[in-house]
Amino acid sequence: MVSDAGSYSPVPLDLIERAPKVLLHDHLDGGLRPLTVVELAEETGYADLPSTDPDELARWFAAAAYSGSLERYLETFRHTVGVTQTADALRRVARECAEDLAADGVVYAEVRFAPELHLERGLDPHQVVEEVLAGFAEGQRLAAAAGHRIRVGVLLTAMRTATHSRQIAELSVEYRDRGVVGFDIAGAEAGFPPTRHLDAFEYLRRENAHFTIHAGEAFGLPSIWEALQWCGADRLGHGVRIVDDIEIGPDGEAHLGRLAAYVRDCRIPLEMCPSSNVQTGAADSIETHPIGLLRRLGFRVTVNTDNRLMSGTSMTHEMELLSAAFGYGLNDMQWFAINAMKSAFIPFDERLVIINDHIKPQFTALRAVLAERLTERI
């Protein structure tokens, strides 16, 4: 689909808010409401918050995250993980996550979290997964009652700096018919290549299970190459550094290296998170974010939030930023949503239902609204 930037830019904010969105890369412990963090800290006795004022706390998370360093960015999770060590806390944050995403116009989301990070107060990994799944189920019901349809799938994450990836992979397979749709590894990339967890990935492939790998964010092309060619990832978490394998000639023509060509030719989805990428130094600005080039070249790029609390963002905000930076219109936003839905880890027929019964009709209706507004101005 050719960009409609010239005809429909900028898209009014209210239409972006109403547009159906698909989210593949969102961390549960990176999307808590500031008030929830404060209340859970009080309930659970967590005493290390930098502030107990929700507004001040939100500003602290944003300031701490804008460090230009992935490692510094990851330090902020000490607090959100610290307040989610009980069954009630996990269920609550999952419920609120589903409600918040649905209110933002997200019709399908895959939300990831690391069970191994929530065991400090006696929960076992199975209990952690079950409480999160219960919270999402409740949140989806409440969202539907409020008029916002959403489906949430869970990705179980293993920390690449730890040694529990095989166990977490087995847990993801055990729960794959109960709401878990895939597996992921996350954490600091430098010094912790994905091949350290090859046993987990080989197990998942034998089990016909889906997985994505954080790669090409803080580290470059070797991280992407290992994730794909050694580990067999279905998608790339971020993958922003694939642009290092693309050369722009004096005539403006793009020349793809072997790895970049492979990623594009095989339609490997890139889970791009513009605001987060700027915060961690993976991109210099929204205006120069590689998503613009990669979208123009026809890579399967998707738009994501990563961590809504740390980045102070939402899917609506990410789309608004991209519309302003690249002139994207409703056709582009539909293209991103369908890209993401095609790349989701749920069955093909279920993806088609969401695309054909929800995404396309809603965008058609929004284009009609926009056309009517433009006519009224003439």
d(CA 190, CA 210): 24
Handedness of CA 27, 28, 29, 34 (dihedral sign): positive
- Using H for helix, E for strand and C for coil, what is the string for the chain? CCCCCCCCCCCCHHHHHHCCEEEEEEEHHHCCCHHHHHHHHHHHCCCCCCCCCHHHHHHHHHHHHCCCCHHHHHHCHHHHHHCCCCHHHHHHHHHHHHHHHHHCCEEEEEEEECHHHCCCCCCCHHHHHHHHHHHHHHHHHHHHHCCCCCEEEEEEEEECCCCCHHHHHHHHHHCCCCCEEEEEEECCCCCCCHHHHHHHHHHHHHCCCCEEEEECCCCCHHHHHHHHHHCCCCEEEECHHHHHHEEECCCCCEEECHHHHHHHHCCCCEEECHHHHHHCCCCCCCCCCCHHHHHHCCCCEEECCECHHHHCCCHHHHHHHHHHHHCCCHHHHHHHHHHHHHCCCCCHHHHHHHHHHHHHHHHHHHHHHHHHHHHHHC
Peptide bond into 222 cis (omega under 30): no
Partner residues linked to 238 by β-bridges: 215
Choosing from 130, 217, 271, 318, the catalytic residue is 217
d(CA 288, CA 192): 28
Q: Count of CB atoms within 10 A of residue 191's CB?
A: 9
Q: How many residues does the chain have?
A: 378
User: Is 217 one of the catalytic residues?
Assistant: yes
C-alpha count within 13 angstroms, C-beta hemisphere, residue 71: 6
Q: Which residues are catalytic?
A: 217
